[in-house]
Amino acid sequence: MTNHDPVGPVEATSVPRYAGLGTFARLPQIHEVPDYDIAIVGVPFDAGTSFRPGARFGPSAVRESSRLLRPGYHVELDVTPVAEVQVVDAGDIACTPYNIGRAVEQIEAQALPLMAENKRVISVGGDHTIALPMLRAVSKVHGPVALLHFDAHLDTWDTYFDEPITHGTMFRRAFEEGLLLEDKSMHVGIRGPVYDQNDFLRDHEFGFQIIRATDLDAFGVEKAIERVRDRLGDTPVYLSVDIDVLDPAFAPGTGTPEMGGLHSRELLRLLRGLNGINIVGADVVEVAPAYDHADVTSLAAATVVFDMMGLMTNSLTDSAERNADYASAAH
C-alpha cells in the first residue's frame, strides 16, 4: 500500500468526460505519481487469434469507453478504489506482431517490473494469448496461483496448426509450466461445441473444474458463486475474463463469439461475489472493436476492469488492516 494520498482521475464535474486524458477512466499515468497499488496496462497483441483478428485495438477502445465510468464509489462492493489506493494507467506493452513466442517473452519482461507482493496489475488485451506471459510474471512474484477463468472456451487445447502458444492453448502451457494450482483452478461460462468429446476429460486432467453457462440455468448465480469461493479458498488467484463469456447480444465485438452466453448482469454478479478473494493479477481480453456496435463490448470490458479495481482494493486494504493488527498485537 502506498503511504501517500492517492491521486485520482480527472473530475468529470470540472472537465467533461469526453475531454481530458485518454488514460483508463482518466487516471494518472504511472510516471505522474511516486508509487502505486494497482496498474492498468494495455497489451495490444492479437497474433494468436484463430478467427477474427482486431483485438490489438482493444486497449484503446476500452480506454475510450472507460470515459463513461464514474470511478468513484462502487456501490455493490462498498469501495472507492481511486480514493483508497493509488491506481494508475501504465500505458501499453510494446511487442512484435510477427512472432508469437518472441511477443510472449516481451510481454512477460515488461509486465514483471510492474508487479510486486503488494502491487496488482490488470492487463487489457489483446487476445487471450497474453494470459500466459502475465501468468509467468505473476508466478515469479506469488508462486503458482489458482486460475479463475471466465470464457466461452476451455483454452486448454494442445496446438493450432502446430503452434503451441495461441489464444486457445495458453492455459495448457500454463499448467505444463507449473504456473497453476491444479486443485484450485476453474472455468466459468463454457459453452458451445468442441473439437473432440474427450476435450473435457483432458481439461479435467489439468485440474480444472467447470461451471458451464447452462449450469447457471440449473442452479443459478448464487450457487455458482458458492462453488467458486469454495474452490478458490484463500489462495492467490489470477482472474482472467474473456469478454466472449458474455452472449453476443451483450458483447458482439469479439473474435470468436458463441451463442448462449452470460448476460451482463450475471457476469457482474459473479465477479462481485468474489469480494474478499485474494486476486493478485487479472486480465480482460478479446475486445475486437471493429465488430462492436455502439461500443457495448468495450464498455462491458471497461466495467469489468472497474470491478476488478474494486475487488483488488478491498483485498489490499483488508491485508493492510490485518498487518496493522498483527503489528499492534506484537507491541
The CATH number of the domain where 277 resides is what?
3.40.800.10
Chain center to CA of 105: 19
Within-domain flag for 1: no
d(CA 97, CA 99): 6
How many alpha carbons fall within 13 Å on the CB side of residue 319? 19
C-alpha cell at position 33: 505519481
Q: Which residues make beta-bridge pairs with 163?
A: 160
Q: How many domains, the chain?
A: 1
Q: Residue with C-alpha cell 447452462? A: 214
What pLDDT does residue 322 have?
Answer: 47
Contact in structure between 58 and 298 (CB atoms under 8 Å): yes
Within-domain flag for 88: yes
What pLDDT does residue 1 have?
Answer: 80
Within-domain flag for 7: no
What is the SS3 assignment for 114? Answer: helix
Within-domain flag for 16: no
d(CA 275, CA 225): 10
Residues of the chain with pLDDT under 70: 319-331
Q: For residue 39, what are the domain limits?
A: 24-319
What pLDDT does residue 195 have?
Answer: 82
d(CA 297, CA 300): 5
Within-domain flag for 87: yes
Q: Which residues make beta-bridge pairs with 79?
A: 74
